[in-house]
Chain A
């Protein structure tokens, strides 16, 4: 059995498995997020991945497996999350779990979402790209095609990830953290603003009122629909995010001239 530890948006997750092909997949997909040991004070989870089937899934099975909705049942501090393709058992008291699944990474992607949502009472995962400059960070969100990946491509030194970003609200200041989805590398920063992207003929931002911000941002939140309590926490965290962080609409042309607009202070 081999154990590798990762930092997924501020949670230290150790994944243990005895399958060489699965370890290769983990290396390809998550190696940038690998850490040797958790930092002091980090919340840790230990997950054992047991291969249910050693063969790889065919493309159609892979697609079907990714789309299958997850269901959840609870028995005290134990939670059972399942799809027809995998079963994830979490012990919230011990912060341990087992994952029975096929030779694929999507069960781990879903595990990351479940563990993250279960761990942080004040936090949510947003469909958006994360950008950092020192300790200042910004989240650029919007539906597919709105420009998240374009913006990340313009600023490879500032972009952490271009798909899903973790937002924590439990500290003194809201913080963002990169998650290992699509193009990403680890990193975190204070969250200074959220941009709802659209392509435009010039670079400009417009502060959104809370109602409009909620209407736009709620469609880009990763809602843990499999768990009512996690959904309630996500809802309350979204309201908290709107109260603490300025939300802007950003119209931009695909040039680097947009960076001063993004990084401008809110005042």
Chain B
């Protein structure tokens, strides 16, 4: 099975986390490095074999004790979770694909660490001046 990113998404890596912005559902999600690696393989489209192949290429450069392992089932479960969330779509198979992105140094199961709805802004006085005590102070005298 191949997958591609949904169009209404944006992402950035900030610190240790990769943050996805789901523009359709107006929510943000934080990915761990393994999940971020899989997400980054979606530049065009990807499949489980391509992800596992990328890991194999990395392992060829590592000592035996440092080799990374991620089962195809773990990859597929994560991809299906993204499908459920509407962040990726199943796609028709095409030509085999090479992935040029290095996996993270430490490989843990791919996880969505958190997700939250994007609010316009919480509890600002900007649109509600003088409607509660916090918004009724007179700071400039």
Contact = CB atoms under 8 A, between A and B. Distances in A.
Contacts of B24: 228
A200 to B, nearest CB: 19
Contacts of B127: 66-67, 106, 109-110, 181
A61 to B, nearest CB: 14
Given A223-B120, A232-B21, A211 B139 contact: no
B134 A225 contact: no
A21 interface: no
A235 B139 contact: no
B14 interface: yes
Interface in B89-141: 118-129, 131, 134-135, 137-141
A219 B122 contact: yes
Residue with the greatest number of chain A CB neighbours at <10 A, chosen from B125, B134, B135: B125
A149 B137 CA distance: 7
Contacts of B8: 228
Given A143-B123, A182-B125, A235-B10, A223 B140 contact: no
A220 interface: yes
B57 interface: no
A48 to B, nearest CB: 22
Interface in A131-161: 143-145, 149-150, 152-153, 156, 159
A183 B138 contact: yes
B23 A163 contact: no
A34 to B, nearest CB: 18
Contact of A162 (B12, B23, B26, B139): B139
A231 B124 contact: no
Given A149-B137, A228-B8, A222 B121 contact: yes
A163 B130 CA distance: 12
Contacts of B36: none
Given A156-B140, A210-B15, A218 B28 contact: yes
A183 B139 contact: yes
Residue with the greatest number of chain A CB neighbours at <10 A, chosen from B8, B21, B139: B139
A232 B19 CA distance: 12
Contact of B14 (A63, A214, A224): A214
Contacts of B12: 235-236, 239
B37 to A, nearest CB: 17
Contacts of B121: 127, 219-223
B122 to A, nearest CB: 6
A156 B138 CA distance: 11
B84 interface: no
A159 B141 CA distance: 11
A222 B120 contact: yes
Given A127-B124, A182-B126, A231 B16 contact: no
Interface of A: 63, 66-67, 69, 106, 109-110, 127, 143-145, 149-150, 152-153, 156, 159, 162-164, 181-183, 185, 209-212, 214, 218-225, 228, 231-232, 235-236, 239, 242
21 contacts: A127-B124, A127-B126, A144-B134, A149-B137, A163-B125, A181-B127, A214-B14, A219-B119, A220-B121, A222-B124, A223-B26, A223-B120, A225-B118, A225-B120, A228-B8, A231-B118, A232-B21, A232-B23, A235-B12, A239-B12, A242-B14
3 A-B pairs closest in CB distance: A211-B15, A153-B139, A210-B15
